[in-house]
Structure 1
Amino acid sequence: MPDPKDEGVGIEIAWSLQGFSVKIRSRLMSALDHLGATKIAQWSLDGERKLAINRALTDTQLALIDASTKSLEEELRNNPDLAKRTLTALSRAERQSENIEVCLGLAIEDLKDHPSTSDQPADAPEALNPEFLNRWEQYASGATSEVVREKWARVLSSEIRAPGKFSSKILRIVDELDQNTAVLFQRFCECRMFSWAPAILLDFKDHELRELQEAELIIKPDLPAYYTFATMTADDEKEWWAIAGKTVGVMIRQNPSAPIINRDPMSMGPLRAIGGILNLGVYPLTNVGLVLATILPYDEELPFRRLANLISREAEGAAKFVRLDEYGFFIEEHVAQDQDETLDASSGKTNSGT
């Protein structure tokens, strides 16, 4: 008989769930319940990452196994081929169970390392959709390599943080992505700003972009798509073009402008200024691509800094990488703290002082 403390769905964890919000904890528990991981007996996050999630069998499961064994015992004894197939099926089931358990462990680790920072809406569900969990289990059961296991772990942890993101279609596309396309997409997302990546930062061949398009991850329009910069005026009355993310931004000098900026009115180049307006050529992500981008590690600073450096390469000072303070002001990194000069990203006006 199973230990009484293992009846139903219980959890024993060597680490605390205290750092999780109530709804994150509730969704995680619903996933463990649905997937049968009723006891986490050990958890270690050392350098070698020892993961262990052991299933505690219910009375019903034990009874089914016992009944099946008795009914098949005689037939297996007299049918070696059936016995061999049965052992193969059991071995496969054991491997699938192990794959799922490791994916679960990695998902929990990801939730611990990257807790949700966004506020949960009041109507956010407290349990994950069973249909999502059924499909996730199907895909995770075949995850034999560490790379694939980590992929499905991030899918689950992302769905726990913000349920409803991964439809059946998106899960199918995740499953069908081959390793080469996945690497290309990761390279693309390293240049991502918002829901697009600047063409000027992408060192991609045309066939590589087509591969991402055919995988339904990016949009490669017949005519270039453009992002339009805002304009701002500093205290010295110099005008700048500006783009701001959540925490960082880029200022681009209007006059004299960098050589990389094309001022030809007929230009279809990746960085053009027409009528005083600066346009940046971009490749947008599809809805599927945007969802998948959220499960990849993302450094917002990297593409903004790359853009500023690229524009300034042949004209020092033509672009500046800046940070945003809590009020949305631009803060130039090179300015001394006792002479801080901040720029309002929304109004385009300069404010001096701390």
Structure 2
Amino acid sequence: MAFVPTSPQTSLHGTFTARPAHRCSVQRPRTVHRQALRMQTWSDPAVTQEYFDFLNNVNQRELMTDCTSTIVGSGRIGNFLREHGTGQDLVIRRGQKIPEDAPGPVYLCTRNDDLEEIIENCPESKKDDLVFIQNGMLERMLRRHDMSENTRANLYFAISKMDADPIDGITETNPEGLTAVCGKWEGAFQERILKAGLTCKILKERDFRRSQLEKLIWISVFNLIGAVHGNIPMGEVAQMHEREVTELSIELAHMIRFTLTVGMLPDIEKRMLAYGRRVKEFPTALKEFEWRNGFFYKYSMLARKNGFPDPTPMHTYVLVCSSYAR
């Protein structure tokens, strides 16, 4: 679907001057003033406690080294982790359960929708070893299962097909690389990624959460804009639709700031565009909606239901006009 010029509409950041070429019954985005938003915020006291522990040098994790591990899933990421492991990793395939004596960390290389069943069937003794590497909003699910402190990895490398060389998330804005990990098995995961010739940094909870939410914004923005323009590649989104990426990225960042009380670092739109150019050949598609764009869309519907302005009007407008959320 193509955008064509029309009269400017105000959004959270500047003006939004695009509309779909076909008719759409959705009301155009309206100005949303910060003082108009009175939605409940969701803060995390663990971050404050972690900071004080760091200052007092208490409760600091000892870095684990890479060891024989368990890998759930044999797709592109699972195969990649196995190839750069010890050669003795246990691979769990679809339909199989994690055994009580599963070795080391348990890398969950599956789709988000498979996680609930995996967790429910996981032995209690191994739940602390589960390592989550999925994209999208996992926080609510992890809280529900009391796994907020489990190891989580934020992957900024892309593998196009089985056995293909990965493209590392090294960009002009982040030459040190973007892949990050946090939790009990952070040292083991980092060691394995570095062994594969990629970059990976260990972050404290506050910085990791920001990193993961920024990836959520990126994957939601690029796939939505790419989808409404005919599922064009990531690189074309970055090159041809820079303004849309910029406005939508900032809008979603504002929403996260006022609902989750997590502020993104300055110039988020530059980092979005830089990584889009890095994985320029990869296609765009709206998938795993509940875990990605659906997170923002649910807040929009909740706000409207309770008489509040839509916190992400541009996102809602483009999403509904894409026919995905009809």
Q: With the length of structure 2 as denominator, give the TM-score of the two structures.
A: 0.21
Structure (1/2) with the larger strand percentage = 1
Question: Which structure is larger by alpha-carbon Rg, 1 or 2?
Answer: 1
Higher relative contact order, structure no. (Cα contacts within 8 Å, ≥ 6 residues apart): 2
TM-score, normalised via structure 1 length: 0.20
